[in-house]
Structure formats: C-alpha cells, structure tokens
Amino acid sequence: MSEDIKFLDIAYEEALKAYEKDEVPIGAVIVKDGEIIGKGHNQRIEKNNALYHAEIVAIEEACRNTGSWRLDGCTLYVTVEPCVMCAGAIMQSRIKKVVFGALDQKGGAVVSKYRLFDDGKLPFKVDYSLINYEKASIILKDFFLNKRRVSRER
C-alpha cells in the first residue's frame, strides 16, 4: 500500500506538470520490478494530438526504454481512472496491473462507464486497484473550476 502511494505521488507530480501547462491535470507512471520505466502527463494541447493522454505518453516511454511492445509484468499508476482509449492501450501493451487514485464517473472504462478489464469480453487480463488518493480529484476539480471562472470573466 505505501508502495502504491509512493508511485501515485510520482504520478501526481506528473499531473502537476500538466496543470502548469494548462492541460487537464492527469499523470501516470509505469513500474517494473520496483523501477520506473516510463512517466507521462496529459499533453493533448501541447502535442496537438488527442492521443497524448498521460497513460499513452507513459506507455510510449516505457516501450522506448525497454525496446519492446510488451510491457509484461508492469504496473501502471495513474491519478485518475483510464478512459476507453487508455484502457485499450493498457490491454494492447499487456500491462499486468493498473492502480488509479480517483474515479472518472463520466468516462472511466475500468469501473465507471465500462468494466473493460473484467467483463470477460476480451482475452486480456488486467488487474486493477482503486486507491482513494484525494489530491488526484482535488487538482482536477480545481482545474475545471478555474477554467469556468476564466471563461465567465472573458
């Protein structure tokens, strides 16, 4: 558990980087045998590409670092529940486990809107664990609150 918090803290540092760039503040980190092999934060606007969610950026880095498309035995820590695209990318990459720090009730694909990892429809097996990591949802709420305030002031 303290191991989980340690890596969620690092994912949260990534989320802070996104926040500073005015991107939706979500961060992710991929761990193999206790070592970080990939990190990422949401860069959709920076990269002009909707695919660059935190999880995708972290998977790309981990594949580059390991030289393999298979991330067997890896755990992905992400501040918020993955969306459909990212849950699909996690399965395609053969990541073993996902730990996330908050639900995404509008678009989460692990437990909220879909249960892609355990509905038995696909041949991929991904374990997951939801940990109540309050900072992950607080920073998101703060981000969208600021967005609305700025758009009202305009």
134 is an active site residue: no
Comparison of 59 and 139: residue with beta carbon closer to a second copy = 59
d(CA 78, CA 71): 16
Q: Does 106 bind a second copy (CB under 8 A)?
A: yes
Q: Do residues 30 and 68 make contact, with C-beta atoms less than 8 angstroms apart?
A: no
Query: Of 4, 16, 36, 44, which one interacts with a second copy (CB under 8 A)?
Result: 44
**Which runs of consecutive H residues, i.e. helices, occur in 21-105?**
54-66, 84-92
Stretch near a second copy under the rule CB under 8 A, chosen from 3-11, 14-22, 88-96, 136-144: 88-96
Q: What is the torsional sign of CA 129, 133, 135, 140?
A: positive
Radius of gyration from C-alpha coordinates of the chain? 15
Query: Of 20, 21, 22, 49, which one interacts with a second copy (CB under 8 A)?
Result: 49
Smallest separation (angstroms) from a second copy to the CB of 85: 3
Residues with a catalytic annotation lie at 55
